[in-house]
Amino acid sequence: MSRPLPTRIVLLAPLLASSLLHAEDPEPVTRFGLQVTVSAPRQDLRDITSRNGLGGGISFEQEMEGGWSLRTRFDYVAFREDQGMTRSRLAAFAPPNALRIAADQASLGMEVRGYLPGQRKVFVLGGLMGTRLEFRTLLPADPGDEASLPTWGKEKTSFKLGMAAGAGYRFSDGYALSLRYGVIPYDGLSLTTVEAALEVRF
Protein backbone atom coordinates (compact mmCIF):
# COMPACT_ATOMS: atom_id res chain seq x y z
CA MET A 1 0.00 0.00 0.00
CA SER A 2 1.61 3.24 -1.13
CA ARG A 3 1.64 6.29 1.11
CA PRO A 4 0.06 9.59 -0.04
CA LEU A 5 2.49 12.06 -1.57
CA PRO A 6 2.27 14.60 1.33
CA THR A 7 3.09 11.85 3.83
CA ARG A 8 6.14 10.76 1.82
CA ILE A 9 7.33 14.38 1.61
CA VAL A 10 7.02 14.77 5.42
CA LEU A 11 8.97 11.56 6.00
CA LEU A 12 11.71 12.38 3.50
CA ALA A 13 12.12 16.07 4.40
CA PRO A 14 14.28 15.50 7.53
CA LEU A 15 16.58 13.14 5.63
CA LEU A 16 16.92 15.61 2.77
CA ALA A 17 17.58 18.54 5.13
CA SER A 18 20.17 16.54 7.04
CA SER A 19 22.04 15.63 3.87
CA LEU A 20 22.02 19.27 2.72
CA LEU A 21 23.35 20.49 6.07
CA HIS A 22 26.17 17.95 6.06
CA ALA A 23 27.01 18.86 2.49
CA GLU A 24 27.46 22.51 3.56
CA ASP A 25 29.76 21.65 6.50
CA PRO A 26 33.31 22.52 5.41
CA GLU A 27 35.83 19.73 5.65
CA PRO A 28 38.89 20.53 7.82
CA VAL A 29 41.70 21.82 5.63
CA THR A 30 45.37 21.36 6.54
CA ARG A 31 47.75 23.99 5.17
CA PHE A 32 51.54 23.66 4.94
CA GLY A 33 53.55 26.79 5.72
CA LEU A 34 57.04 28.29 5.85
CA GLN A 35 58.31 31.30 7.75
CA VAL A 36 61.35 33.53 8.23
CA THR A 37 61.90 34.80 11.78
CA VAL A 38 63.79 37.64 13.47
CA SER A 39 64.01 37.17 17.25
CA ALA A 40 65.02 39.88 19.74
CA PRO A 41 66.24 38.62 23.15
CA ARG A 42 64.69 40.18 26.25
CA GLN A 43 65.13 40.01 30.03
CA ASP A 44 67.56 37.31 31.16
CA LEU A 45 68.24 36.07 27.64
CA ARG A 46 69.49 39.54 26.76
CA ASP A 47 72.08 39.17 29.55
CA ILE A 48 73.38 36.05 27.79
CA THR A 49 73.36 37.49 24.26
CA SER A 50 72.20 40.93 23.18
CA ARG A 51 72.35 40.05 19.48
CA ASN A 52 69.17 39.41 17.52
CA GLY A 53 68.56 35.87 16.33
CA LEU A 54 67.69 34.76 12.81
CA GLY A 55 65.87 31.60 11.84
CA GLY A 56 62.88 30.00 10.22
CA GLY A 57 60.37 27.24 10.53
CA ILE A 58 57.69 25.04 9.03
CA SER A 59 54.09 24.57 10.09
CA PHE A 60 50.97 22.50 9.50
CA GLU A 61 47.78 24.46 10.13
CA GLN A 62 44.34 22.88 10.36
CA GLU A 63 41.55 25.36 9.72
CA MET A 64 38.38 24.98 11.79
CA GLU A 65 34.98 26.62 11.93
CA GLY A 66 34.48 30.12 13.29
CA GLY A 67 37.79 31.49 12.03
CA TRP A 68 39.90 29.34 14.36
CA SER A 69 42.85 27.16 13.43
CA LEU A 70 45.27 24.77 15.15
CA ARG A 71 48.90 25.04 14.08
CA THR A 72 51.72 22.57 14.68
CA ARG A 73 55.01 24.36 14.20
CA PHE A 74 58.75 23.72 14.27
CA ASP A 75 61.06 26.71 14.70
CA TYR A 76 64.83 27.15 14.78
CA VAL A 77 66.57 30.39 15.79
CA ALA A 78 70.32 31.03 16.09
CA PHE A 79 71.53 34.02 18.12
CA ARG A 80 74.81 35.51 16.94
CA GLU A 81 77.94 35.42 19.09
CA ASP A 82 78.12 38.09 21.75
CA GLN A 83 80.49 39.06 24.53
CA GLY A 84 80.24 36.67 27.47
CA MET A 85 78.54 38.05 30.55
CA THR A 86 80.08 37.67 34.00
CA ARG A 87 76.96 37.95 36.17
CA SER A 88 77.12 35.21 38.76
CA ARG A 89 73.55 33.99 38.21
CA LEU A 90 74.41 33.19 34.60
CA ALA A 91 77.29 30.88 35.56
CA ALA A 92 75.23 27.92 34.36
CA PHE A 93 75.61 29.20 30.81
CA ALA A 94 79.10 30.68 30.72
CA PRO A 95 82.20 30.63 32.96
CA PRO A 96 83.36 34.04 34.24
CA ASN A 97 86.28 34.17 31.80
CA ALA A 98 84.20 33.46 28.68
CA LEU A 99 85.01 35.76 25.77
CA ARG A 100 81.89 35.11 23.75
CA ILE A 101 78.71 33.11 24.00
CA ALA A 102 76.31 31.85 21.33
CA ALA A 103 72.78 30.47 21.79
CA ASP A 104 70.49 28.38 19.59
CA GLN A 105 66.95 27.21 20.18
CA ALA A 106 64.83 24.62 18.37
CA SER A 107 61.14 24.42 19.28
CA LEU A 108 58.22 22.12 18.52
CA GLY A 109 54.85 23.44 19.61
CA MET A 110 51.09 23.71 19.20
CA GLU A 111 49.41 27.04 18.63
CA VAL A 112 45.78 28.15 18.49
CA ARG A 113 44.87 31.07 16.24
CA GLY A 114 41.65 33.00 15.83
CA TYR A 115 40.48 36.02 13.86
CA LEU A 116 38.94 38.98 15.60
CA PRO A 117 35.13 39.07 15.22
CA GLY A 118 33.76 40.32 11.91
CA GLN A 119 36.91 40.17 9.79
CA ARG A 120 39.59 37.89 8.36
CA LYS A 121 42.71 40.03 8.66
CA VAL A 122 43.80 40.52 12.28
CA PHE A 123 44.26 37.38 14.40
CA VAL A 124 45.44 36.49 17.90
CA LEU A 125 47.52 33.46 18.83
CA GLY A 126 48.74 31.50 21.82
CA GLY A 127 50.36 28.17 22.48
CA LEU A 128 52.93 25.95 24.17
CA MET A 129 56.26 24.65 22.87
CA GLY A 130 59.00 22.29 23.91
CA THR A 131 62.35 23.96 23.30
CA ARG A 132 65.87 22.56 23.08
CA LEU A 133 68.34 25.24 24.18
CA GLU A 134 72.01 25.11 23.32
CA PHE A 135 74.75 27.42 24.63
CA ARG A 136 78.39 27.54 23.47
CA THR A 137 81.20 29.62 24.98
CA LEU A 138 84.49 30.89 23.58
CA LEU A 139 87.22 30.51 26.20
CA PRO A 140 90.46 32.55 26.22
CA ALA A 141 93.81 31.18 25.15
CA ASP A 142 96.07 29.56 27.71
CA PRO A 143 98.34 32.38 29.00
CA GLY A 144 101.12 29.84 29.60
CA ASP A 145 101.11 28.65 25.98
CA GLU A 146 102.00 31.27 23.36
CA ALA A 147 100.77 29.00 20.57
CA SER A 148 97.32 28.45 22.02
CA LEU A 149 94.24 30.18 20.62
CA PRO A 150 90.79 30.92 22.03
CA THR A 151 88.65 27.79 21.78
CA TRP A 152 84.96 27.06 21.96
CA GLY A 153 84.09 25.32 25.21
CA LYS A 154 81.81 22.38 25.80
CA GLU A 155 78.24 22.85 24.61
CA LYS A 156 75.47 23.00 27.20
CA THR A 157 72.04 21.79 26.12
CA SER A 158 68.73 21.61 27.93
CA PHE A 159 65.07 20.88 27.09
CA LYS A 160 62.44 23.20 28.56
CA LEU A 161 58.70 23.90 28.19
CA GLY A 162 57.74 27.42 27.14
CA MET A 163 54.73 29.45 26.12
CA ALA A 164 53.98 32.18 23.61
CA ALA A 165 51.23 34.68 22.79
CA GLY A 166 50.83 37.35 20.17
CA ALA A 167 48.92 38.64 17.18
CA GLY A 168 49.25 38.95 13.44
CA TYR A 169 47.89 40.41 10.24
CA ARG A 170 46.97 38.40 7.15
CA PHE A 171 47.66 40.30 3.94
CA SER A 172 46.14 37.55 1.78
CA ASP A 173 45.25 33.88 1.99
CA GLY A 174 48.91 32.95 1.52
CA TYR A 175 50.85 35.70 3.34
CA ALA A 176 50.82 36.98 6.92
CA LEU A 177 52.99 38.82 9.44
CA SER A 178 52.97 37.67 13.07
CA LEU A 179 54.45 38.96 16.33
CA ARG A 180 55.01 36.59 19.27
CA TYR A 181 56.18 37.10 22.83
CA GLY A 182 57.77 33.88 24.07
CA VAL A 183 58.80 32.90 27.60
CA ILE A 184 60.96 29.91 28.59
CA PRO A 185 61.51 29.44 32.36
CA TYR A 186 65.04 28.17 33.03
CA ASP A 187 66.32 27.48 36.55
CA GLY A 188 64.85 30.65 38.03
CA LEU A 189 65.58 32.73 34.92
CA SER A 190 63.13 34.03 32.34
CA LEU A 191 64.44 33.57 28.80
CA THR A 192 62.11 35.71 26.72
CA THR A 193 62.02 36.78 23.08
CA VAL A 194 59.99 39.05 20.84
CA GLU A 195 59.71 37.46 17.40
CA ALA A 196 58.55 38.87 14.09
CA ALA A 197 57.85 36.34 11.35
CA LEU A 198 56.87 36.57 7.70
CA GLU A 199 54.67 33.58 6.99
CA VAL A 200 53.76 31.87 3.73
CA ARG A 201 51.20 29.05 3.55
CA PHE A 202 50.19 26.84 0.66
- With 0.75 as the threshold, say if the pTM is over it: yes
So what's the pLDDT on residue 86?
46
pLDDT of residue 56 exceeding 70: yes
Average pLDDT over residues 43-65: 89
Q: Are 193 and 35 in contact (CB under 8 A)?
A: no
Q: 11-19: long-range contacts at Cβ-Cβ below 8 A with a sequence spacing of 24 or more? A: none
77 within 8 A of 105, measured Cβ to Cβ? yes
Q: Is 159 exposed, middle or buried (0-12, 13-18, 19+ CB in 10 A)?
A: exposed
For the chain, domain boundaries: 27-201
- As a whole number, mean pLDDT of residues 22-41 equals 82
Q: What CA dihedral angle connects 143, 149, 150 and 154, to 10 degrees?
A: -100
Q: Which of 79, 103, 105 is nearest to 93 (CA)?
A: 103
Distance of alpha carbon 113 from the chain centroid: 12
The stretch 69-89 carries a mean pLDDT of: 78
Structure confidence at residue 195 as a pLDDT band (50, 70, 90): very high
According to the model, what pLDDT value does residue 112 have?
96
> Which of 65-69, 85-89, 112-116, 134-138 holds the top average pLDDT?
112-116
HSE on the CB side for 21, CA within 13 Å?
6
pLDDT greater at residue 156 or residue 182: 182
User: Please, which pLDDT band fits residue 102 given cuts at 50, 70 and 90?
Assistant: confident
pLDDT band at 137 (very low <50, low <70, confident <90, very high): confident
Q: CATH code for 27-201? A: 2.40.160.20
Strands (E) located in the chain: 29-42, 53-63, 68-83, 100-115, 122-139, 151-152, 156-170, 175-186, 189-201
- Is 125 within 8 Å of 165 (Cβ atoms)? yes
Least confident of 50-54, 84-88, 99-103: 84-88
Q: What is the pLDDT of residue 143?
A: 67
